[in-house]
Homo-oligomer: A and B are copies of this chain.
């Protein structure tokens, strides 16, 4: 049906959800309007064989996740995602039905988060699937939460739990290996559904931003945990010119993550510190918000910000200090 026919087909029936969306798909550029807020822009490039493996990632999930990782970046600035543009590079083994599945996931994510799809193009790819998504969002003027605002004595907090998406990846990889050469292989995910879900269908924690606002808490710094807690803590320390102490026994970990680590004979804390793709929020709040934070559901205080001279360290269960290393989840694999 040609490139333009294809894009029209994939984006048909889209309706604007946001007042800031003036003109979407179908011109040289999208036209938006942000008279009263600051504008946030983020972009992510996802490459087959590097960021995803189509052997065990359904295309609809991939579409959903591709959108979510961008929403998460906007949320991690304290903002609200409003629009996305989607560029695809597609090799000849993909059919229109494949692209429909991918777009179904993208459109579902847009629906769930109230985001408008305002631009799309597809081109041929000689290699695998290439997905490039740009997300535009807004935040109250001057209220974007940067990585650079953490101050000494601030409390370090994380939402949700960590390491599950990484364990989900290990599980998918294991089942893939087990399936090799076997016809009609059925992977066994029973009792581990949460891990698979965390890997295949992550969410952006817009609910936490809302909760913080309602509680009258303004984080001093924030980012999302895509490369692992350890690496992200080091970014905050570097950008904010500070050190930190986080407590091993305060890091939130789901029991399925713990069981899976045991089953795979992996170090649980390493997985929680360096396993990526959790898309939870890491943020700091003034010490005076301590009581409010302790009462807040789905959020945990895991440590505090120090003078820069003290460096970034994990305090283990037996009271030892271990310097944090930013190995990131890629190097774990």
A contacts, CB < 8 Å to B: 4, 22-23, 26-36, 38-45, 47-51, 72-74, 76-77, 79, 83, 85, 87-89, 118-119, 121, 123-128, 130, 132, 134-137, 139, 141, 144, 146-148, 223-224, 235, 239
Q: A34-B34, A42-B119, A118-B41 are in contact. Are A27 and B126 (CB under 8 A)?
A: no
Most buried by B among A74, A121, A144: A144
Q: How far is the CA of A127 from the CA of B130 in the complex (A)?
A: 10
- Distance in Å from the Cβ of A86 to the closest Cβ of chain B? 8
- When C-beta atoms are compared, the residue in chain B nearest to A50 turns out to be B124
Q: Is the CB of B73 within 8 A of A29?
A: yes
Q: Is the CB of B45 within 8 A of A41?
A: no
The complex is assembled from copies of this chain, and their number is 2
- Distance in Å from the Cβ of A48 to the closest Cβ of chain B? 8
Q: A50-B89, A87-B45, A132-B87 are in contact. Are A29 and B77 (CB under 8 A)?
A: yes
- Distance in Å from the Cβ of A225 to the closest Cβ of chain B? 11
- Distance in Å from the Cβ of A282 to the closest Cβ of chain B? 11
Residues of B with C-beta under 8 A to A30: 40-42
Residues of B with C-beta under 8 A to A126: 47-50, 127-128
Q: Which of B87, B134, B223 contacts A28 (CB 8 A)?
A: B223
Q: Is the CB of A32 within 8 A of B38?
A: yes
Q: How far is the CA of A180 from the CA of B232 in the complex (A)?
A: 49
Q: How far is the CA of A253 from the CA of B124 in the complex (A)?
A: 30
Q: A28-B224, A33-B141, A128-B127 are in contact. Are A41 and B119 (CB under 8 A)?
A: yes
Q: Which 3 residue pairs spanning A and B have beta carbons closest together?
A: A127-B127, A29-B42, A45-B87
Q: How far is the CA of A124 from the CA of B72 in the complex (A)?
A: 22
Q: Is the CB of B85 within 8 A of A44?
A: no
Q: Is the CB of B87 within 8 A of A26?
A: no
Q: How far is the CA of A125 from the CA of B47 in the complex (A)?
A: 7
Residues of B with C-beta under 8 A to A239: 26-27
Q: Is the CB of A134 within 8 A of B76?
A: no
- Distance in Å from the Cβ of A219 to the closest Cβ of chain B? 13
Q: Is the CB of B130 within 8 A of A45?
A: yes
Most buried by B among A127, A135, A147: A127
Q: Which of B31, B50, B77, B121 contacts A39 (CB 8 A)?
A: B31
Residues of B with C-beta under 8 A to A144: 22-23, 27, 29, 31
Residues of B with C-beta under 8 A to A51: 123
